[in-house]
Amino acid sequence: MAKGQKGRKMYQLLNLFSNIPNINDYNWYGGAPHKSLWKRMFSLYPINLAKNGSLMLLNYDLLLKLWEKNLLTSIFYKKHNKLYLCKDDQLVTNSSIDQIQLLTHARLTTSPREVVQIKVHTLGGTPVYSKITYGKNNSVDCIKGLMQKIQTIIHHTKTQGQNIVEIQINHTHPSLDFIANEGDNLKFILNGLGKQDCITGAQLCQFIDYPLTISAITPGQLTYSKTWS
């Protein structure tokens, strides 16, 4: 890289980081998150937060408590006793043990990254997993690459004599889910499936003979899922 380009790159980086508020300027109920996640989130998405506000990281138990207090009704709904995000009808759950295990590969405390693993649910109950793919950006993977991986693992599962009931693409969203208390206003910053995740699901399901679920797993061990069948 030429010297001038290097300088420009550094200037862009400095510009980027100057938009990141200081994590210590906020009052964190229950403790502050890792700075690496805070920085990554603000470098990817524009988030409008009042200065010196009170913030609290979200987990599933807290969501349920807020639901009981009628504080979630404009953003979430319940169906068959399950919690859904209104945006794109995403099922919200506690992360499962294998999803929490996947989070350990996402370098949450140093240099957060997206990681992807395909899980094949079988009739016998024992799942089959693909190798973990390590991503750099914030999209699950290119559709062509994912399709190849899914075909490979379907073939592998069938040759083991197992019947497939569902394909699930687990991937990490290494950002933060939290609530901001801004006076009378409770603001939710959520980290669920994005537009590209939903486009990927809608396109991939056309080529797969089984229900397809895409799940985003966040550091608060919240999982957002959507199924195409």
Q: Point out which residues bind Zn ion (CB under 5 A).
A: 197, 216
Instruction: State the minimum distance, in angstroms, from the CB of residue 173 to Zn ion.
Output: 6
User: In terms of CB distance, is 66 or 205 closer to Zn ion?
Assistant: 205
CB of 22 to Zn ion, least distance (A): 27
CB 197 within 8 A of CB 216: yes
* Minimum separation from the CB atom of position 216 to Zn ion (A): 5
Q: In terms of CB distance, is 63 or 169 closer to Zn ion? A: 169
Largest CA distance in the chain: 60
Q: Minimum CB separation from Zn ion for residue 66, in Å? A: 24
Residue number, nearest CB to Zn ion: 197
Q: Is 18 helix (H, G, I), strand (E, B) or coil?
A: helix
Least Å distance between CB 161 and Zn ion?
A: 33
- The smaller minimum CB distance to Zn ion, of residues 66 and 146, is found at 146
Nearest CB to Zn ion, comparing residues 95 and 157: 95
Which residue number, 66 or 216, has a Cβ lying nearer to Zn ion?
216
Reference 194, options 59, 99, 87, 43; nearest CA is 87
- 143: closest CA among 100, 57, 201, 101? 201
Degrees to nearest 5, angle at CA 213 with 211 and 214: 150
Q: For 111-190, where are the E strands, in sequence order?
A: 115-122, 128-129, 133-134, 164-172, 178-182, 185-189
